[in-house]
Structure 1
Amino acid sequence: MSKKILYVLSEYGYWGEELLGPVTATDAAGYESVFATPNGKRPQALPPSLDPGYVDPPLGRSVTTPEVAVAARELDESARLDDPLSLADLIPERPYHSEPGFLRLIEAYYRDLSTLDTEVARYDALVIVGGSGPIVDLANNGRLHELILAFVRADKPVVGECYGVAPLAFARDWEDRTSIIRGKHVTGHCKEYDYKDGTGFVGVDFNMGPPPYPLEYILRDATAPDGRYHGNVGKETSVIVDYPFITARSTPDSFLAGQKLVEVLEQGLRRFGW
C-alpha cells in the first residue's frame, strides 16, 4: 500500500523550495501527498521564493536556482494545492477557561479530540513547510500542536523546515507543558539567517521588519538540558534526524530533508547529522 504524507502549509506564504524539496522526494518514492492549511485556504508561495534574481539579505546571494524557480512555480500553480484540508475542520478548538460551562466544554473538547488519532492513522508522516508564513498562523496554532502530538503518539515521523520547526518547540501536553523536543537534537532557522528588515507575508501589506522571535534561541531553550540546537553555520546544508523528528535549517536543506524522510520510512533511519 502506498504511503501517505500530510503536508501542512501556512496561509500567509510558504517558501517554494521548502515544499518542492520534500514533495519531489515523496513523489519519486510513489507516496501520496495530502495538503492542509489552518482554515482550508489555498496556500501560496512567497513571491521572492520563485524569483532566482532575489538576493537573500543575510546570505548576500540568491538562494533559488532558475531550475528550482521554474519547478516551484509549476507546483505552486498546479491543481494539487487547490483544495487543501482545513485544520479547523479536522481538529476542535480548545475552549477558554473563562467560558461559561468550561468543565462541560473541555470534556467535549477531549471527546472530539479523541478522533484525531484515527485521522492520523491514515498517514505515514507529517511535513510542516517553512517560509515566513508559519510565523503568523502555524507557530502558535493550537490545532497544529494537537496534530503534532498525535503523530508523536503514533510514533510517526514529523518534518519541520525553517520556521516550520517552531511548532515543534511549542507543541506541549497541557498537563506538564514540556516541549516535545526536550532532550532532542534539532536544527532550524539560525540567528545568522534572520532578516534585519523585510520579513513579509502573502495577502497582507505589512513589513514586520525583523522576525518577531529568534527561532534559534527558542530551539536552544526547548531542547535543553540534554538535547541541542545545531545551526551548522558555514555548512551548505543542515538537516538533523533525531527520530521522530526531521528538522531542516532553511531553503537549501529542503531536498535533503525530503530524502531523509524517505530513508526514515523505507530504511529505518533514526539518526543523522549529529
Structure 2
Amino acid sequence: MSKHILVVLSEYGYWGEELVGPLETFEKAGYEITFATPTGRRAQALPPSMDPTYIDPPLGKSVTSPEMAAKVRALDGSSRLDNPLDLSAWLPDRPYRSDPGFLRAYEAYNSRLDRVRAEIADRYDALLIVGGSGPIVDLANNWRVHDLILAFHALDRPIAAECYGVACLAFARDQEDRTSIIRNKHVTGHCIEYDYKDGTGFMGTDFVIGPPPYPLEYILRDATAPDGSYIGNFGKETSVIVDYPFITGRSTPDSYLTGEKVVEVLEQGLRQWGFHAS
C-alpha cells in the first residue's frame, strides 16, 4: 500500500525548495500527501524563495536557482495547497489550569487526543514540518503542533523537520517531565553561522524583522543534552541527520536529501545516518 505523509506548513511563509524537494521525492516514491496548516489558511511561499536574484546575506550568494524558482512559483500558484487540513479544528486546545472546569476539560482534551492518535495510526505513515521563517511565528510554540508531534512519536512514526521547523521538535514535550522528545538524540538545523544579524532583513509573508528571535542551534544543543548532540556541519554543503524517529535537515540545500532519507526510513528501515553513533 502507498505511504501517506502529513506535511505541516506555516501560514506565515514556507521556504519554497524546502517543500518542493521532499514533495517531488515523495511523489516519485508514489506517496500520498496531505497538507496541514495551524488554522486551515492556505500556506504561501516566502518571496525570496521564488527569487533567484535574492542574495542570502550569511551565505553571500543566491540560494534559489532559476529552475527552482520556477517550480516554487508553479506550486504556489496552483490549487494544490488550497484547503489544507485545519489543525485547530482537528486537535483540541489544551485547557488552562486556571479554568474553573479544568478537570472535565482536561479529560475531554485527553480523550480527543486519543482519537487523534487513532486517526493518525489509521491514516499517516510519517510527518514532515517544512522550514522557512514562518514556523518561528506559528509552529514552533504551537501546542497543537506539539501534540501532533507527540502523537506521531507515541506511534513510533517517522518525524521529519527542516530548518527552523526543527524548533518544533525541541519544544514538543511531555507535560509531566517537561523534557524534549529529542533529548539524547542527534539532530541538525539552522546553525548560528547561517543566521541573520541585526539590521539584516529576515522575511516572512507578513513581517520583516532583524535576526531570528532565537538562535536555533543553541536551543537544539540544549534540548538534545546530555547524550545527544546538535550537528551543524558548518562548511559542508549538506547536513541531514537521521536518528530514528527523527529526520532533520539543516536548510534549503538539504531538502531533497531530507525527503530521500524519509523514504529510506519508510522503505528500508534506516535508523541512523549522518553521524557517528557512540
TM-score (norm 1): 0.98
Structure 1 residue runs without a partner (length 5+): none
Percent identical residues: 71
Q: How many pairs are equivalent? A: 272
- Specify the SS of the correspondent of 1:262: helix
Q: Deviations over 1:217-252 (max 9, x none)?
A: 000000001000000000000000000000000000
How far did 1:198 drift?
1.0
Aligned position for 1:72 = 72
3-state SS of 2:248 partner: strand
Aligned mates of 1:265, 1:106 — CA distance in 2: 34
Question: Deviation per CA, 1:14-71, whole angstroms, max 9, x where unpaired?
Answer: 0000000100100000000100000000000000000111000100000111111111
**1:2 has 2:2 as partner:** yes
Distance 2:160 2:138 in 1: 17
Moved over 3 A (4+): none
1:116 positional shift: 1.2
Q: Which residue of structure 1 aligns with residue 143 of structure 2?
A: 142
Q: Which deviates further from its counterpart, 96-105 or 31-40?
A: 96-105
Where does residue 228 of structure 1 map in the other structure?
229
1:55 paired with 2:58, answer: no
* Structure 1 position 171, deviation (Å): 0.3
Which TM-score applies when normalising by structure 2?
0.97
Inter-partner Cα distance in structure 2 for 1:7 and 1:119: 16
SS in 1 for 2:42: coil
In 2, Cα distance between the equivalents of 1:79 and 1:113? 30
Q: Where does residue 269 of structure 1 map in the other structure?
A: 270
Structure 2 Cα separation of the partners of residues 259 and 109 of structure 1? 36
Give the letter aligned to residue 256 of structure 2: F
Instruction: Measure, in 2, the Cα distance between the counterparts of 1:254 and 1:126.
Output: 15
Aligned to 2:158: 157
1:44 corresponding residue in structure 2 = 44
Tell me, in whole angstroms, the C-alpha distance in 2 between the residues paired with 1:194 and 1:77. Answer: 29
RMSD: 0.7
| Aligned ranges 1:216-255 → 2 under 5 Å | 216-255=217-256
The alignment status of 1:172 with 2:179, answered yes or no, reads no
